[in-house]
Amino acid sequence: MSYGLQIAAFAGAGLAALLLTPWVKAFAVKIGAIDVPNHRKVHTRIMPRLGGLAIYLAFVLATLGAWLFAGSDIDWKVALGLLLGGTVVVAVGALDDKFELSPKMKLLGQIAAALIVVSFGVRIELLNIPFGETVVDTSWLSIPLTVFWIVGVTNAVNLIDGLDGLAAGVSGIANATILVLAVLMGNGTVILLSAILLGSILGFLVYNFHPAKIFMGDSGALFLGFALSTFSIMGFKQATLVSFIVPLVILAVPLGDTFFAIIRRVLNRTPISVADKSHLHHCLQQIGLSHRQTVLVIYGISVFFGLCAVLLSQTANWVAVIIVAVLLLIMELGAEAIGIFSKSRKPLLTLFSRLRSKPADNSRSRL
């Protein structure tokens, strides 16, 4: 397969985002789509948001340009569904950037966007029973399962958008992982669309990395989460255990942060919808890392999980289970070490500490 079109589309999207972002910045300031500092935010000056509009416009322009030259190996029906659904989710995010919509309105918009791509054939159709040949046809459950996945990932990406360049960089790494896996599997549609999205992210990141000149806002975070969740369904439809796990590993940083946030709020008996300052990036800053160091550390974590996802895609089921078990252990230990869900409850670290102390206690008693 020749990748000339994909490379050109990637470069075109990057250039478009690079040129569009200053215009979007001026537009955001003009209409008052700005982010004002408060007790939960780390920035100390008013910042324009709505930067996601630049990512979205670059993605649309590059996709339409690729459509003029692409061959028949691209599923343009699915691409159209992604564009239409993406338009809805960007519109919802843009309205929130300007007017701060209620969580219920944002959720309804995300569900509507998810249903659009579902209607264009993007669905989780099969589930595999681990270590067996049994494949379960999800039948009518495919629609709610797909909507749940898309909405869940969309909000997970939105939750990590707390530092300059964080959501864009993590999404870019996850998207690059999907691109690599799509190349390995020869999925032309995902290769093209993920290459375009990667170019759009990198072009925008020039202005968004610390110190940022513009925030992506909900318009960007929601669009990136929506696109990544859709790509993951398009790219891993095979009915295998590995194909079920790989998207979870690719998106481990936003999904893990969201999971720990839910656990943390349950333990603290606070509503799940109430925001706090105990997300991954907050915890890393609280242990002494600078703004830039925190972002780079989370980039490194994302790259690690991306490499693990590629490794998983090339392994047998039993190896995949071992790798996932190790990854879960690492995630739990890391979460406890930085206090992401509780500053005092650290069950595994406490257990390991007791196990290490027992041999020393026994030796002293013999003396």
Render pLDDT for 10-48 as a digit per residue (tens, 0 to 9): 999 999 999 999 999 999 999 999 887 655 555 567 889
**252 is in which domain, residue-wise?**
4-346
End-to-end CA distance of the chain: give it in Å, rounded: 72
Residue whose C-alpha is closest to residue 228's, from 177, 269, 272, 287 = 177
Assess if residue 351 is contained within a domain: no
Give the confidence band of 65 by pLDDT, cuts at 50, 70, 90.
very high
Q: Which residue's structure tokens are 């995010």?
A: 93
Share of the chain above pLDDT 70, in %: 86
Query: What is the predicted pLDDT for the residue at 175?
Result: 95
Q: How high is the pLDDT of residue 239?
A: 40
Task: Count structural domains, the chain.
Answer: 1
Residue 103 belongs to a domain? yes
Establish if 365 belongs to a structural domain.
Answer: no
User: Is 333's pLDDT higher than 90?
Assistant: no
Q: In this structure, what token pair is assigned to residue 203?
A: 């072009």
Read off the pLDDT of residues 280-312 as tens digits, 9 standing for 90 and up: 888 888 888 999 999 999 999 999 999 988 888
Query: Exposed/middle/buried for 103, CB within 10 Å: 0-12, 13-18, 19+?
Result: exposed
Q: What is the mean pLDDT of residues 136-160?
A: 86
Angstrom distance (rounded) from CA 177 to CA 195: 11
**Would 358 be classed as within a structural domain?**
no
Concatenated DSSP letters of 305-357: HHHHHHHHHTS-HHHHHHHHHHHHHHHHHHHHHHTSS-SS--HHHHHHHHHHH
Per the CB < 8 A criterion, the answer to whether 265 and 271 are in contact is yes
With a cut of 60, say whether residue 361 has pLDDT above it: no
Judge whether 361 lies within some domain: no
Q: Which residues contact 280 (CB under 8 A, 6 or more apart)?
A: 160, 253, 256, 257, 260, 298, 338, 340
Q: What is the mean pLDDT of residues 91-111?
A: 94
- Give the pLDDT confidence of 235-270 residue by residue, as tens digits: 765 444 455 677 888 898 999 988 888 888 887 777
Residue 111 is predicted with a pLDDT of 97
Write the pLDDT tens digit of every residue in 204-239: 999 999 999 999 999 999 999 999 999 988 876 544
Q: Are 230 and 85 in contact (CB under 8 A)?
A: yes
Query: pLDDT tens-digit profile of 66-98?
Result: 998 876 678 999 999 999 999 999 999 999 999
**Amino acid identity for residue 352 in this structure:** F
Residue 48 lies in a domain: yes
The mean per-residue pLDDT over the stretch 332-347 comes to 78
CA distance 328 to 212: 33
- pLDDT for 36: 76
Q: What is the mean pLDDT of the chain?
A: 85
* 366 inside domain: no
Q: Answer whether residue 120 shows pLDDT above 70.
A: yes
Q: Residue 8 falls within a domain, yes or no?
A: yes
